[in-house]
Amino acid sequence: MLLTAPRLPAWSVLAGTVAAAGLTGFALLRFPHGLDDPAAPIFVVALCALLVLYLALAASALRRPRVGRGLGALVGLAAGAAWSVEIWAGGPAMLDRPVERAVGATFALLAVALTVAAGVLAGVRQRDAAAAVRGGLFAGLASGVVTFCFIVAMTLTTTGVLATRADYRQQFASGHSHAPDIATFLVTDALAAGVSHLVINLVLGLVGAGLGALTAIGLRGQPATVDAQPERAGGVRG
């Protein structure tokens, strides 16, 4: 579906970004003392800037649908799912430590590989550097919003379980957090981790975009795997 509906990738990222903003607002209303941290203003400004950037890129793609975004968004969703498994394994899954590390490392590496691969795949399919850039960009955007929404929603719904983990209790007891209780600490930590993923996932997507563009340039003159369609605003594939 994402590969055949020209505007669906942009709508998906737009909806995910709005959901991320909504989850942030709910979390801060539910745990307002998270804003007592001296670093909170920097966090809020950074998050708002990132959400505006994601919204602007999605809105721009809505106006001009182009080849490559559908593939990128699809791969980005898969990468976001892999990040989600890694986060779940290190949180409410309560796995044995060796299993937790093995699952977390495996799915983190898978998420990185998928995000970087999106731009390369788009470049190989279309033999077009611009399509590769769009594919990599949308892989980063899609995986970023999926991961952000998952980590915040997961933390809000499993705070009681997470609060029983010895590592989180030790971090809270260390005194580095200004949160008045462990639930506030966990939620603000999840928001900070979500912001990090908005940046990291987008950077990974752009790295793949660059590699894909180089690959597409190197493959020019060879027949494309998928016939590239003229980049018109209507009726373009993914």
Dist CA 20 CA 195 (whole Å): 10
DSSP E strands, the chain: none
Question: Measuring CA to CA, which residue among 160, 211, 207, 153 is closest to residue 181?
Answer: 160
90-126 tens-digit pLDDT: 999 999 999 999 999 999 999 999 999 999 999 999 8
- The DSSP code for 180 is S
**Other CB atoms closer than 10 Å to residue 235's CB: what's the count?**
9
Contact present, 15 and 77 (Cβ < 8 Å): no
Q: 234 pLDDT exceeds 60?
A: no
Phi, then psi, of 197 in degrees rounded to 5: -70, -30
Give the contacts of 31 (CB within 8 A, at least 6 positions apart). Answer: 183, 184, 187, 188
131-167 tens-digit pLDDT: 999 999 999 999 999 999 999 999 999 999 999 999 9
Find the farthest-apart pair of alpha carbons in the chain and give their distance in angstroms, rounded: 63
